[in-house]
Every structure is written in C-alpha cells, then in structure tokens.
Chains A and B, each alone.
Chain A
Amino acid sequence: MGHFLEMRKISKRFNDNMVLSEVDFAADKAQVHAIIGENGAGKSTLMKILSGLFLPDSGEIWMDGEPISIQNPKQAQEHGIAMIYQEIRLFPDLNIAENVFMRREPLRTMRWPRLIDWDQAYRETEKLLQYLGLPLHARAIVKTLTIAQQKFVEMIKALSHDAKIIIMDEPTAALTEQEIELLFKVIKDVKKLGVSIIYISHRIEEIQQIADKVTVLRDGEVTQSALSSELDMTALIQAMVGRQLEDRYPKLKVKHGKEALRVEKLGFNGRIRNISLEVKKGEILGITGLSGSGRRTLAKVLFGIHGPYEGEIHMNGKAFKAMSPHIAKSHGLCYVTGITSEEGLIMNASISENIVLPNLDRVSHAGFLSTGRESEYARDLIDRLEISADEKEIVQSLSGGKQKKVILAKWLFASAKVLIMEEPTAGIDIASKLDIYNIMNELVLSGASIIMISSDLPEIMGMSDRIAVMYNGQIRKTFLKEEATQAGILYFASGGKDT
C-alpha cells in the first residue's frame, strides 16, 4: 500500500483474446517505472487503459489512496495522466509554445474580446525549456526540430498540463545514442519535479540506465516486478521471452565473394560528400552515425531517390546510373526503408499485394495478373519469414515486427542482390529481431550483400563484418568487426578524428 498510483487486477479481453489477465501495477512519485515485454505482451493495452483509451473489463485504478474512475482520455488528463506516444502528435507547422498550449491557451484578463495572452504562453514555455536545459526557442517551428527535440516538446506539453504521471511509449525508437543520452537527462530532471514516469520499451539495455523499477509483462501477465538494480539483463530477457536466449546476434561466418557494390567519391548536394565504399558478396557492411550524419541520404542516393549525384556507383564491376528506384531495382539494388507506413508499405493493401508490388512481372502474363500465383508466392514468403499471418490480411492490422518482415519480403520477392536495410529492427520485439537477423544470415549465405544502416550500436557491432561510421556527410572511419568498440564508434560518430 501507499503507492501513488495503483492498478489492481486489471483484465481486458478483445474478442476471444485475453490481452491482460489480473495485472497489478504500481508507480510512485519521482520514480521511473519501466514496463517491458514483447509485442503483444499487453504493455500498450495496459497504458491505454490508464490513459482512458480503453475501458478495462475488470479491475480498479487507485490514485493517492483513493479509487478513481477513468472513462475517457479527458478524465485521465484531469487526473494528471499524460501519454507521449511513439509517433509524435504535434502540429508540425506551429511553434513550440503554440503546441504546448494548444486548446488551453492562457487568456488575457479582459472580459471581451477574449484574447490569448501569448506573452504568458511564451514565458511559461521558455521557463520549462530552461528548466530542462534545452537550447530551444519557444517560437521555433516544430517541424524544424529533430525527433528528439519534438519528444521534449511533448514532455513540456505534459508538464504544463501539471501532469503527475507521464507515460512514454518507446521514446527512444527513432533516436540516436547521443539524443537518447539527452532524453535520459531530461527524464531525470522531470523526475525531480515529483512526476511519476512510466517508460515502455523493448530495449533492455536502456532499462538499467534509466529505470528505478521494472515490470515485465508476458502474454498479458506480470512475470517479474522488481527494482531494476536487482535484475540483470539475462534475467530480464528470460522474464520477457520465457526462455533463455543464447545469442542476441546470431551472426554467421560467411565466405565473402567478389565485389557486389562499389561506390566512388559519391556526393550529393553537400549532404553527403566524397563517400567511397564497397561491399562484397556475402558481406554485411554496417553504417552508423548520429541523426543528420547523412546515413539515410546515402541510402536514398544509392537507390536513385535523391539525385543527380556526383561520383560513381558500380554494381558487379559495371558502372550504373542510379537515376530512379526503378533502375536501381532492375540492377538488383534495393532499399528496405526504416519508415514503414510512409515509405515501406501500402498500409491498407493486403500482405500479398505489398509483397508482389516491386516485381509484378513475376506474377503476370503479358501484363495480366495471376492472382493465384500471387497468393502462392506470398504464402511462400510468409512461411519463410515466419510472419504467421494470412496473405490476404491487411498490413495495417499487423504488428510492427510483422510489418518490417513484409517490407523485407517484398525485396526477397524481387530477388535483390544488394539490400540496403535501414534500422532493420527498430521498435520491434526480441523474437522478431532474431528472425530478421536469421533472414539476414540466410541472405548473405545465398550470396547477397547487405548494407545495414542502424543507430543501434549493439546490433551494428553484433551483425556487421565491417562498420563504417559517418559524421557530417562523410565516412570518418571503417572498423573491422573485431576492432570495433562502442566507445570507438561513438568517438568517430561525434566528430572525432584519427590521431
């Protein structure tokens, strides 16, 4: 007893699926309480109940020793509960203060006309920005900010609502190492204000850095709840997946063949400069760097999305001009984007429709589609990638991990030889991650090459043969797998030079 917030015996079922069964959860003031679990474990559902989006089938919520009722998001807000979603929910064309005070703008004392007191809004926003030590101006337009900075704006918005509980859903999903560090600093500052922070994450390594308490959910039940100092990583993983994971990065040793892709002195618009690299058949080249280092630009130039570029690109020893994704694709080069809903998938089309899109010729005769062959190929790939879904299922309804696999399936279907994979496992659960690493192994075994662009350092170090570190549009350093250390990569990623 005596917890600030208590959720008691919360149960929830959707149709026939028991999503939460008698879950107990407690959070205290000035504490970061992490909830971890795989996709489908019920963490988001639990938090959506707390923030009023879902009603529980049974169970009670107590706050400050009294039972409270949360029927809708508005009531949750009145109780001081704020949720920061994985996707940013701000108005991109408005400035920080306008976003922070959206729909509850301070008014001037004058009775009529009721004017907004912008001076006060800007003053209060600046005050919060200063408290958190953020070098931002209250009048900065939100879309000009980085993802990390936008998260901070959401944080400030919650604080200005006098939030007592802030729920953060996968806050580090799209952030770089450096930004994550800053985020953690901000979280600690917010904690000092007496706010209770509930932190939902997949990334176990973060938990020990930031969380005071950890609750692990698996299949709708609490499997572990303890102080984070009492748990080590293997214990957490075990509680999450229910089995021992031997190796989180099952990298196979594959013999490298001939050169598959060679890039010479590639430059585009000043955003990337003088980039030379090569990938052999069977090789995984990791590329990492902070956001803004040009990782994504490099991928898009290679795939023909950005252009015209300077320099040369050779595929299998022959020069080719990456003028459009279509040309890149027909040379066997593909880009497995990290941005699922905008660039990766047609969200309201079925799995099979998405899979065959890059190579419709394979399922057609003289331009006429054969839906039979389409389903057949799609089912093959669904089995091979263990997506466990029907090929007619709409991709929107799939979990993040399955969606990532569908994007990958598209390019396996198009028989890509060089795959540029961007953030291949961001925001997905451990089991799906392992699946994707195994597919990468399978691909390089079959003679394909992979350029893996990732900001997840353990992943980069675990899966790559070589690691190129980008800074400010250039490759600063290329490590062999054996030479790479986290510190070394970070040194070059933040602008360090060879001495």
Chain B
Amino acid sequence: MEQRIVTNRRPFSWKSFLLQWEWMLVLIFIGINIMNMSLSEYYWSFDSLRDATMTFLDKAFIVLPMVLIIILGDIDISVASIVALASVIMADLYTMGVPMPLAMLICLAVGTLCGFVNGLLIVKFKELSAVIVTLSTMIIYRGIAYIILEDQAAGKFPDWFSFLGWGYVGPVPFILIVFAVFAAAFILLLHKTTFGRRVYAMGNNITASRFSGVQVDKIKLIVFTLAGFMAAVTALFLTSRMGSTRPNVATGYELDVIAMVVLGGISTAGGKGKMIGAILAVFLIGFLRYGLGLVNVPAQMLLIILGLLLIVAVMIPKIKLGKQGRI
C-alpha cells in the first residue's frame, strides 16, 4: 500500500548531540570559571576549589531525588523542613544521651518516614496536588522541629562527627566522595533501570502508564520516600558542617534545590530531562556563588544572576520547540 517508506529515525549527528542543554551547561560552567579567574587571582587553585565544593554540596543530595519528582511532574517543597526536623531530632536525642551513631540512624529514619508520609498523602488523596500536600507538611515538619527545640540551638557533637562535613579522604573531601557515589547511583537508577523508565513514562502520560500496568502509586511512593531519605542525608552533612543545629536550619533550601533541577534542564511539565544536567547545575551554581563571593559581589546580585539563568533555562527548549512546531 504505502510505497514510500517513512522513517523519522534521527541518525546520530554531532550537531544535535552538541545542541543538548547539558552541553550548554558545560559551556556556562566554563564561562563562569573564566569569569571567576579574571575576577580573582585566588580563584583558580585546587585547594580553594576543592574546599568550595564542601560548602554547597550538602543540599545537592536533595537535588538527586528532586530530579525524579520533577520528572514525574510533581514537586516537593517540604524537603528543607525535613532537613530541619531530622537534624533537630538527632541533636535532641544526642543531648538526651543517645549514642551518636544511633542518633544518626534515627535521623535517616525520620527523614525517610517524612518522605513516606508525603508520598502516602499524595497517592491516597488524588484530588490533592503534590504542591498542596508538601506545602502542608512543610509547615507541619518545621512546626514539630520548633516544638522540640523551641528556637534554641543544640549541638556539642562528638569530635569525629565533624569529619562528615570537614573531613578528607586523601586529598578529596569526604562529602564529595559520598555525593559522587549517590550521584552515580541515581544516574543508573534513572537512566538504566526499569524503575527509571517507568518514572519517565509516568511523567509523560500517567494514565497510559497506569493502563499499561505500571504501578504508578507504588513508584510515586518510592520516589517521595527517597526524597525524604536524601533530605536526611543532607541533614547529617549540614549539621556536621555547622557543628550545631536550630529549628530554622536549611530555610529556603527547597527553592535552591528546585532552581538547580530546573536549571539542569528538567522540565517542570514532567517527562523530560537528565540527571547529569541537574548535577552540572549544582556545580555551576556552587562555583558561581563561590567566585562572586571571593570578589565581594553582594548576595542579592547573585540572586539576580541566578534568576536570569533560570529564565534562560526555561526559555531555551521553548524557543527550539517553537521553531519545530511550525509546519
């Protein structure tokens, strides 16, 4: 019947490979480094760059599961509150005499439980969107943290605990190693496993996924629970770096994290984006912040730059689409 054979298979082309947003991020990253180098002579040294990563990597742990959540087309704005609650409970237990290793495990358990509760609410009450659910739990978790510590600081952790945030293994910061392990695990999870495939499918069309027998509720639950767990990991490293904790710790982290994910090219409409993009965005924002900090650029200025970058990140796919969309 159909004599003409239609193939829409796109052959591999360097052009489309290099036109990916992730390469754009690499370019911006290089640009930022060049800019920083010309701004400050202290910027380009292995030691200072290595130490800089320690200051921004703590929240990067949450970026990893947030990529999954945003690919699902959902969002979780309670993560910063989970960090605070997990951190505060750990500190409180330790001051009450619980051994530190056990307190750390409980910290992880608390975070996981918080994430599980988020997921359960989202899955059970389908009429509530993830924004509404996590907005509520954001307030609740932070509230509980305040009840426990009553706006006080808690700390005086054992000396070895500071290793998490400040320690080195050889020349490499411990936090960087842990992050690299988690990042590799999440890259594999999203891009190489059936789980990741299902996450992408759900983000593109949740009804068709469900109609294909994908256990959509189970996957959502797992993803939100993972976010809770990773928020607790952040709590460990952040608390260690600061040496003490307060109920208002990590305020605003959720927006930083979401900004990194979006800058990483993950579409808030769901279904699109790569883990590596978000990881690049973590380093990009981190180095930008560090470099501008060196030359005393005010923090507000940095926010403006970040905002502009975000707009570009959101605009570029639209512009490309707009060109293709016309027939």
Contact = CB atoms under 8 A, between A and B. Distances in A.
Given A360-B198, A368-B193, A324 B215 contact: yes
A283 B250 CA distance: 63
7 contacts: A329-B213, A337-B211, A349-B204, A353-B197, A369-B193, A393-B7, A431-B1
Contacts of A388: 2, 5
B205 interface: yes
A393 B213 contact: no
Nearest to A429: B1
Nearest to A392: B9
Contact of B208 (A40, A345, A364): A345
A414 B213 contact: yes
A347 B2 contact: no
B6 interface: yes
A104 B112 CA distance: 55
Given A328-B213, A349-B201, A367-B193, 10 more contacts: A241-B1, A329-B213, A349-B200, A357-B212, A358-B212, A361-B194, A368-B192, A369-B192, A390-B9, A393-B7
Contact of A325 (B1, B5, B201, B212): B212
A495 to B, nearest CB: 31
B213 to A, nearest CB: 4
A484 interface: no
Nearest to A397: B8
B304 interface: no
B23 interface: no
B209 A393 contact: no
Closest 6 CB pairs of A and B: A329-B213, A360-B194, A390-B9, A358-B212, A357-B212, A346-B204
Contact of B207 (A38, A342, A348): A342
A204 B10 CA distance: 37
Contact of B194 (A305, A325, A367): A367
A102 interface: no
Interface in A156-172: none
Given A347-B205, A353-B197, A360-B198, A54 B327 contact: yes
Given A54-B327, A305-B211, A346 B205 contact: yes
A305 B195 contact: no
A428 to B, nearest CB: 12
A411 to B, nearest CB: 9
Interface in A174-213: none
Contacts of A358: 212-214
B6 to A, nearest CB: 7
Interface residues of B, number: 32
Contacts of B228: none
B211 A364 contact: no
B211 A344 contact: yes
A360 B197 contact: yes
Contacts of A230: none
B208 A348 contact: no
B210 interface: yes
B207 A325 contact: no
Given A342-B208, A344-B208, A345-B208, A369 B197 contact: yes
B15 interface: no
Given A324-B215, A325-B213, A392-B9, A343 B193 contact: no
Interface in B205-263: 205, 207-215
Nearest to B4: A17
Contacts of A241: 1
A326 interface: yes
A495 B233 CA distance: 64
Interface string B172-202: 0000000000000000100011110110110
Interface string A426-439: 00000100000000
Contacts of A367: 193-195
Which of B192, B194, B198, B212 has the most chain A CB atoms closer than 10 A to its own CB?
A: B212
Contacts of A364: 193-194
Contacts of A410: 212
Contacts of B214: 326, 357-358
B265 interface: no
A162 to B, nearest CB: 28
Nearest to B193: A367
B271 interface: yes
Nearest to A241: B1
Among B1, B2, B192, max chain A CB count under 10 A is at B1
Contacts of A394: 8
Contacts of A40: 2
A186 B205 CA distance: 36
A389 interface: yes
Interface centre among A219, A241, A330 (most CB of B within 10 A): A219
Interface in B1-30: 1-10
A357 B196 CA distance: 12
Interface in A318-376: 324-326, 328-330, 334-335, 337, 342-349, 353, 357-358, 360-361, 364, 367-369
B9 A326 contact: no
Contacts of B1: 38, 241, 431
B198 to A, nearest CB: 7
Contacts of A414: 213
